[in-house]
Every structure is written in structure tokens, then in C-alpha cells.
Amino acid sequence: MAMNAEELRWRATTIVLVQKGRRATIAGDGQVSLGQTVVKGNARKVRRLGKGNVISGFAGATADAFTLFERLEAKLEQFSGQLTRATIEMAKDWRTDRYLRRLEAMMLVADASSAFLLSGSGDVLEPEQTPHGSVMAIGSGGNYALAAARALLDGPLDSEAIARRALEIAADICVYTNRNIVVESVDSI
């Protein structure tokens, strides 16, 4: 039986960002699925950018995400590592560049003082701040990880433990998320 286009769609990932105390953490799983098949279980979708002081994670088409990583790194270099300025300038490019508008990826990025979601439509969103910190999540299991991280945010766990636990919970629910978790953190000054 032949698969239709929806069944052959790449489904990949859960990425969560947690800011708590003086630390920002981004964590992501390693699963890449094509339709109902896991084609890779150890993809690395979380990485450091710039001079290592910016962390990021992507959801969506891998080639598109690497294009976004490269563009953001170039903006970080152009604006002396200023994440806020780099993301705003990248969003401007995204909205005006026909090539970028076709990219099917989203990113979460953070440094020691700020965090953003770069959407597939070129929007830049900051997480909602609560008295205990903030969280954002993207990808197929993003809503599960977001709910789990929000529930854990006011407890005793630090940002890394919250991010890891949120992904474990998402992996228990979302068939497109696994437990091969990569975590990166940055501390504020």
C-alpha cells in the first residue's frame, strides 16, 4: 500500500527551554521520524552558537534548521554576540527574504539574559515570565513538555532537571519523542 504525503512527512522532535534562577537551559530529544518509522534516534538538535554563550534548539526540517543556525550565527557575529539584536535582525530578514520564508523550522534560543522563540513565519517571541521563571517548547511533543515544565517550575528542581524531566514526560506521551536527551545551559552573570 502506498503512503500519502502526510504519512511521509518528517516528524521530529521536542525542544524545551527553561529559565529558572540564574540559569537558562534548552533540552531536546534525538528522534527523527518519517511517517510511522523512526529513521534516527540520536539526532543532535540542541547546540551552542556564537562563542558558546548562546544555546539553541530546533524543530522542523533539519536542513532548514541548519540554515537558520548559520544565519543566526552570522547575525550574532555581526552584532557582537547581542542575542536580542541578532534575533530581531534575523526576523526582519526572514520576513523579507523569499528563501527564508519557505523554511520549515522553528528555534528556541537563549543566552544569559534573554530567550526567544523564532517561528517559521519570522516572528520573535519572548517567554512569559512568572515569579518562578519561564518556559517555552516547540515540536511535536512541545505542548506536553511545556505543560510538564510549567508544573515543575515552582518546585525545588533547577532548570536542567526541569527540562530533562519535561522531555521524559513528553516521551511517555508523544510517539515522535524519545529519551535520547541533549541538554545545554548558560548561566547569567
Considering the candidates 13, 14, 87, 177, report the single residue annotated as catalytic. Answer: 13
Residues in Cβ contact with 162 at an 8 Å cutoff, skipping those fewer than 6 apart? 18, 20, 25, 135, 149, 152, 153, 155
Residue spans of alpha helices (H) in 35-141: 62-78, 83-96, 98-101
Residue spans of alpha helices (H) in 103-158: 142-152
Helix, strand counts (H, E) of the chain: 5, 12
Instruction: Please indicate whether residue 14 is annotated as part of the active site.
Output: no
Rounded CA-CA distance 69/36 in Å is: 28
Q: What confidence score (pLDDT) does residue 94 get?
A: 75
**What's the chain's length in residues?**
189
Listed by start position, the domains of the chain span 14-177
Rounded CA-CA distance 25/16 in Å is: 8
pLDDT tens track for 75-129: 999 999 999 999 999 888 877 776 666 667 889 999 989 999 987 677 899 999 9
Maximum C-alpha span of the chain: 57
pLDDT tier, 150 (very low <50, low <70, confident <90, very high otherwise) = very high
14-177 fold? Glutamine Phosphoribosylpyrophosphate, subunit 1, domain 1 (3.60.20)
φ/ψ of residue 184, rounded to 5: -130, 140
Percent with pLDDT over 90 in the chain? 62
3-state secondary structure of 114: coil
Extract the C-alpha cell encoding 168. 521524559
pLDDT tens track for 25-77: 999 999 988 878 888 899 899 999 988 999 999 988 777 778 888 889 999 99
CA angle 148, 149, 152 (to 5 degrees): 90
